[in-house]
Amino acid sequence: MRRAPPLVVLVLGGVAERWECPADASPLSLAATPHLDRLAADGRVFGVSLIEEAPESAAPLLALLGFDPHGVETAAASYLAVLHGAEPAPGECFARGNFISLFRDLVADPEPHLRPAESDLLLQSVGTAIERAGFRLVPGPGPAQLVIAQRGAVDATLPAATAMIGKEVSGHEPRREGHAFAHRRAREALDGHEVNEVRRDLGGNGADMLWICEPGGTARLDAAWDVPVSALGTDPVWRGVCQAAGVPVRAPSARTAAQLLRGVGNALKRDAVCFVHTRKGERDAFQRQLGARTEGLATLDGEFVGPLADLVAGAGGRLLVIADVPRSTADGVAFAEPVPALLWGAGVTALAARPFTESGAAAAGDPLAPGHGLLSYLRNL
């Protein structure tokens, strides 16, 4: 293989979430993003089919790293387990536990934004409560927690927390007795918890129950990289996928734009490929409120995308910007629709002027499929 310019892959986690708007009124279409516009004018915009199976799983992240999701474990919980170094006992499985906020019996927020100290206190109470149901909690940072239980006790048909917005919890009770008992115990432990009471007094959402779903087994990936690679990002599932794929996550605590940029600068000095995962541009970038999401994307464009492009140009490299998962305008469920991708940098010539939006990617014609071939395609351009 001929030597290629260094490649930075920027994954905009959540940017394609357009909960209450059509594609032509999405944040990507409405936000003021002069840096992305400049890159799109000088580069290539196209679509990529990342999702070929359960879209709420880790399958899109696996595809971004070049792994065929078919035939490997795709449950997000399985990669949380990799991150924690957890091993199941015979007959056990991993599952994902998400705090959710309720309005009466309706799911109002599938990812309430908790401070670390608040999360720690709530997790202590929930962990003790669900032990009586035979469910073990392995707490960690972020909204997704690892739960371990007997496989026969977990209802695999339960929808993901993000697909429950506006739906009644009572209409989606687990069909397995142990699972249902764990949900009841978690809800009882959080009802009236002092952390929730304080949050509500301050006008915020509480964490009213732990939603346990998406069971999976042990994740094993056959990773063989022929070039130096690295990754940046704080999302726990992303970090677990990278660890299973043999991709070292450098500076795992890097959260701010400045910290991520320093990490990319270091990676460009030693690595052929660097994957950068940003999630929600620090929450407000991709809230379900369209205005807040649009404004957050504009901030991300100015504070991170522009300086990142300058770093890549200075190293004579290439930059791929890609969204991860689109969501239904009706109910928030992720679906298998191609996501927009933008390639820019050394040796890349513009084929047509298209914006980095859902409609711009669709105008490019047939999307690249299957998505797990993206990395090989880019490295051989």
3-state secondary structure 266-335: HHHHHCCEEEEEEECCCCHHHCCCHHHHHHHHHHHHHHHHHHHHHHHHHCCCEEEEEECCCECCCCCCEC
State residue 335's pLDDT score: 64
Does residue 344 surpass a pLDDT of 80? Answer: yes
- Residue pair 215/57 in contact by the 8 Å Cβ criterion: no
Of 208, 93, 84, 214, the C-alpha closest to 161 is 214
CA distance 263 to 35: 20
What is the location of CATH 3.40.720.10 in the chain?
Answer: 7-72+221-379
The answer to whether residue 205 scores a pLDDT higher than 80 is yes
Tens-digit pLDDT profile for residues 226-250: 899 999 998 899 999 999 999 999 8
55 pLDDT more than 60: no
Q: What pLDDT was estimated at residue 193?
A: 95
Sequence-separated (6 or more) residues with CB below 8 Å from residue 142: 234, 235, 236
Q: How many CB atoms lie within 10 A of CB 95?
A: 30
Q: How far apart are CA 41 and CA 356, in angstroms?
A: 9
CATH number corresponding to 7-72+221-379: 3.40.720.10
Which residue type occupies 304?
A: F
pLDDT in tens, 10-38: 998 777 666 666 777 777 888 899 999 99
* CA pair distance 341, 362, nearest whole angstrom: 11
In the chain, where does DSSP find H-type helix?
A: 27-30, 34-42, 59-64, 76-84, 116-131, 177-190, 194-201, 236-244, 257-270, 290-300, 306-314, 358-363, 374-379
- Can you give the pLDDT at residue 166? 85
Calculate ∠ Cα 21-23-29, nearest 5°: 95
Using DSSP, state whether 221 is helix, strand or coil. coil
Q: Yes or no: is domain 78-216 CATH 3.30.70?
A: yes
* Ranges for all domains in the chain classified under CATH 3.30.70: 78-216
Look-up: residue for tokens 């509500």?
Answer: 200
Query: Quick one: residue 251, left, alpha or beta (phi over 0 = left, psi -120 to 50 = alpha)?
Result: left
